[in-house]
Amino acid sequence: MKAKTKFIKMFYKLPEVARKELVFDAYGDRPMSLNVICLEIRNDTKLGKACLHLLGYEDDVKEVEDE
C-alpha cells in the first residue's frame, strides 16, 4: 500500500476536532495542523512528501521473483 493511502486512511479515522488541533512541526518554524498536512499530501507537493517521510510513512515494497 502506498504511504499516501496509509496516511489518508489514518487521517479520516480521526475525529474532526483532532484533525484541527493536532499540530506537526517538522522544521521548527512552520507548525501545521493535520488538515494542512493532508492537503499537501493529497496534492503531491514536496512538503507533503517530506511530511510523509518524517511521519514514518513508507511505500510497501513487494518483491517479485523471476521465473
Per-residue pLDDT tens over the stretch 22-56? 787 877 788 888 999 999 999 999 989 988 998 88
Tell whether 13 is covered by a domain.
yes
The span from the CA of 31 to the CA of 63, in Å, is: 37
Beta strands in 1-67 (DSSP E): 23-24, 32-33
Quick check: 62 pLDDT over 80?
no
Cα angle 17-22-25, degrees, rounded to a multiple of 5: 155
Tell whether 34 is covered by a domain.
yes
> Which pLDDT value is given to residue 67?
47
The span from the CA of 42 to the CA of 7, in Å, is: 10
> Which pLDDT value is given to residue 13?
95
> Which pLDDT value is given to residue 31?
87
Tell whether 26 is covered by a domain.
yes
**Domain count of the fold of the chain:** 1
Q: Give the range of the structural domain holding residue 33, as residue numbers without chain letter.
A: 3-55
The span from the CA of 28 to the CA of 13, in Å, is: 27
- CA 28, 36, 57, 22 dihedral sign is positive
